[in-house]
Amino acid sequence: MTKKYLCRALLSTFFIFNVVQGAVATSTPSLTTKEFRAFDENGEMIRTGRGAVGKIGVVSTGKYEASKIGMDILKKGGNAIDAAVAAGFALGVSEPNSSGLGGGGFMLIRIAKTGETIFVDFRERAPKNATSNMWKVNEKGDVIGNEKKEGGKAAGIPGEVAGLIYALENYGTMSREQVIRPSVKLAKEGFIVTPTLSADMKNKYDLMIKYPEFGKVFLTEEGFAYEIGEKFTNKDMTKVLELIIKEGKEGFYKGDVAKSIVNSLNKYGGVFTMEDLANYKPKIKKPIIGNYRGYEIISSPAPSSGGAIVIQILNILENFNVGKLKVNSPEYLHLFSEAYKLAYADRAKYMGDTDYTPVPLKGLTSKKYAKDLSKKIDMKKSKKSVSHDPWIYESEDTTHYSIADKEGNMVSITKTVNGLFGNGIVADGYGFVLNNEMDDFVVGGNHPNSVEPGKSPLSSMSPTIVLKDGKPFMLLGSPGATKIISTVSQVISKVIDHKMGMQEAIDEPRLFDNTSNKINVESRISDKTIEKLKKMGHEVTKTTEWDRGMGSVQGVLYKKDGTLEGGADPRRDGKAIGI
Q: Would you please indicate which residues are annotated as catalytic (active-site) residues? A: 398
Cα distance between residue 52 and residue 38, in whole Å: 15
Cα distance between residue 431 and residue 476, in whole Å: 30
> Cis peptide leading into 158, omega within 30 of 0?
no
Nearest to 73 by CA among 156, 208, 180, 232: 180
* Beta strand ranges found along 279-429 (DSSP E): 283-285, 288-292, 295-299, 398-405, 410-416
Q: How far is CA 258 from CA 20, 150, 265, 419, 564, in A?
A: 40, 20, 11, 22, 41
Name the 3-class secondary structure at 137.
strand
Name the 3-class secondary structure at 396.
coil
8 A C-beta contact, residue 107 and residue 411: yes
Report the greatest alpha carbon distance in the chain.
Answer: 67
Q: How far is CA 434 from CA 96, 100, 124, 162, 418, in A?
A: 10, 8, 10, 15, 9
Name the 3-class secondary structure at 247.
helix
Contacts of 499 (CB under 8 A, 6+ apart): none
Half-sphere exposure of 425 (CA within 13 A, CB side): 29
Determine if residue 78 is left, alpha or beta; phi over 0 gives left, psi from -120 to 50 gives alpha, anything else beta: beta
Name the 3-class secondary structure at 558.
strand
Helix axes 64-75, 176-189, angle to 10 degrees: 150
8 A C-beta contact, residue 430 and residue 240: yes
Residues in the chain: 579
Q: Are strands 539-542 and 518-521 parallel, antiparallel or unpaired?
A: parallel
Q: How far is CA 44 from CA 39, 318, 391, in A?
A: 5, 39, 50
Write out the DSSP string of 32-79. -TTS--SB-TTSPBP-SS--EEESSEEEEESSHHHHHHHHHHHHTT--
Contacts of 457 (CB under 8 A, 6+ apart): 123, 124, 126, 156, 303, 353, 437, 438, 439, 440, 441, 449
Backbone angles phi, psi at 106, to 5 degrees: -130, 140
8 A C-beta contact, residue 170 and residue 82: no
